[in-house]
Amino acid sequence: MSEKPHPPSDEHGHGHEAHGHHGSVFIQHHYDDAQHQFDSGKLGIWLFLAQEVLFFSALFVAYILYRHHHPEIYSYAHKYLDVKYGAINTAVLIFSSLTAAWAVRAAQLRQQKLLIACLAATIGCALAFLGIKYIEYNHKVHEHILFGRYFDPCVSSGNRPLLTKNNKCAGHESSVVWNAGTARADAGCFPDYAIDQDVKRDGVQASCSVAETKVTVDKSGKVTSEVAGRAITEQCPEWRPSSQPQQKTTYPCWRPGYQPAVCKVGYSFTWLEGEAAKFAGPFLSEDECKKEQKKKAGEIKDGPAPTACTRSGSVGVIVEYGDHGTRPADLRIKAECKGPPPPPVVEDLFADKPQRIELGKPIATGAAKETKHDAHEREAAGPPPEHTNMFFTIYFAMTGLHGIHVLFGVFVFIWLLIRAIKGHFTPDYFGPVDFAALYWHIVDLIWIFLFPLLYLIH
């Protein structure tokens, strides 16, 4: 029989001796023997694990339903997550699962030192997992990438600065004044479809990620802007496929593809001298925009008249930057869209088709088409689609609940470690190690599903 440890327990002697059992002192008297106790415990932990599967399945239902109905949210929002951290955490958990399983083996074979080492390694991995989770959560808190109404990100998932409604992103402030009556922004830089704008409420709700900007227009119509934020650039990438060269334009932008004062792609944007009549705004609706364009068409000499409006409004949009007292009066500016240069005459109708190479003949290439990758890049640069907060609600619920399980695991394994050091575990009494390891494997197993579902969305 196995060698007895000498626990200080007072249970010793009252019970198992009566059964004529000579194993571990931790075999309770109401069990026939070690086998009976182990099997009962094992059944118990398996029932618990079954319950855990059901418990988590509720969150998986939420995940699947939402993904089923709103795939665009997942394809946008998962880019906020760093695959690197997810993958490291997966590896850490798998390794800890290995050490947990090994701890069981060590306990079964009375390898005391190995048991202690394995338990300690498991605790270490669990803490490492929580540490990495902390880094991830911390970043999300900092950038307001949170659940529910706290989702108010300072950056797009493509890491572009975003307009946020609460003015809380460090160093970036400029307000939008919303007018519920006209359903427009009276001032500021928000188009009316902007994220999380409450169209039923008046007042300042959104802010640009523009810190301080000074735009001046001299008599000749030359525009200079000084930028103190991270947003406005002189080379505004009115978004183009990466295969096309960036066009140098002179309007400010912070959300490529979603500039409030954007012109239709191909149109150029010009600051006109501001007559300071109406301060900042309004954003034009599509109809108004078309009317405006028709009116303006006669005045624009160099280029054909614009024929279409973008959704974000185009011609005649007046934008105000910076709402601090430092803004001088001559900041009132007016912007206008100019018609695009006439399109190049396409001589070869098959220019964009694959061609046979012929010596001495230049190869005509067609217009670059937006690839899937380009489209994703463009989406990631823009603001989140509506209800993106739901992704993070689900994300935090799932990873948070999982994290709580990991934390609980840490306490359980510390308890096991103390008992292991005291020498409580013997080949006929290692149930606690086995059961805790089973629990730990389920935690690992859930992460095995969470990782691809949250981090690896294609």
Partner 1 sequence: MATEEHHDDHHGIAHTASIKVLVGTGGTLLLLTIVTVLATKVDFGANINLAIAMFIAVVKATLVILFFMHLKYDKIFHTVVFLSAVLAASLFVGFTLMDSGQYQQTNIWNPDAPPRAPFGPRPISG
Measure Cα distances from 363 to 343, 345, 366, 371 in Å: 19, 16, 10, 21
Q: Which lies closer to partner 1 via its Cβ, residue 58 or residue 141?
A: 58
Q: Near partner 1 by CB under 8 A, which window of 170-178, 273-281, 372-380, 403-411? A: 372-380
List binders of partner 1 among 156-195 (CB under 8 A): 193-195
| Residue 34 sits in the site that holds partner 1 (CB under 8 A) | yes
Least gap, CB of 370 to partner 1 (angstroms): 10
CB atoms closer than 10 angstroms to residue 154: 19
> Is 213 in a helix, a strand, or coil?
strand
DSSP label at residue 426? B
Least gap, CB of 313 to partner 1 (angstroms): 14
* CA-atom Rg of the chain in angstroms: 32
Q: Near partner 1 by CB under 8 A, which window of 38-46, 219-227, 265-273, 389-397? A: 38-46
Q: Which lies closer to partner 1 via its Cβ, residue 225 or residue 388?
A: 388
CB atoms closer than 10 angstroms to residue 294: 13
List binders of partner 1 among 62-81 (CB under 8 A): 64-65, 68-69, 71-72, 75
CA gap 292, 309 in Å, rounded: 10
List binders of partner 1 among 230-289 (CB under 8 A): 257-258
Residue 204: both structure tokens together: 């300042």
Contact 411, 131 (CB under 8 A): no
CA gap 255, 232 in Å, rounded: 9
Q: Near partner 1 by CB under 8 A, which window of 322-330, 333-341, 356-364, 379-387? A: 379-387
Least gap, CB of 355 to partner 1 (angstroms): 26
Q: Which lies closer to partner 1 via its Cβ, residue 43 or residue 418?
A: 43
Identified binder of partner 1 from the candidate list 12, 79, 105, 290, rule CB under 8 A: 105
| Residue 308 sits in the site that holds partner 1 (CB under 8 A) | no
| Residue 83 sits in the site that holds partner 1 (CB under 8 A) | yes
Least gap, CB of 108 to partner 1 (angstroms): 5
Contact 428, 34 (CB under 8 A): yes
| b/e burial code for range 318-351 (CB count within 10 A of at least 16 → b) | bbbbbbeeebeeebbbbbbbbbbeeeeeeeeeee
DSSP notation for 66-82 = HHHH-HHHHHHHGGGS-
Here's the x/- map for partner 1, 439-458, by CB under 8 A: it reads as: --x--xx--xx-xxx--xxx
Least gap, CB of 210 to partner 1 (angstroms): 21
DSSP label at residue 339? P
- Strands 268-272 and 203-207: what pairing? unpaired
Residues β-bridged to residue 204:
177
Least gap, CB of 358 to partner 1 (angstroms): 33
Q: Near partner 1 by CB under 8 A, which window of 6-14, 101-109, 142-150, 170-178? A: 101-109
| Residue 91 sits in the site that holds partner 1 (CB under 8 A) | yes
| Residue 363 sits in the site that holds partner 1 (CB under 8 A) | no
Q: Near partner 1 by CB under 8 A, which window of 27-35, 236-244, 282-290, 392-400? A: 27-35
| Residue 197 sits in the site that holds partner 1 (CB under 8 A) | yes
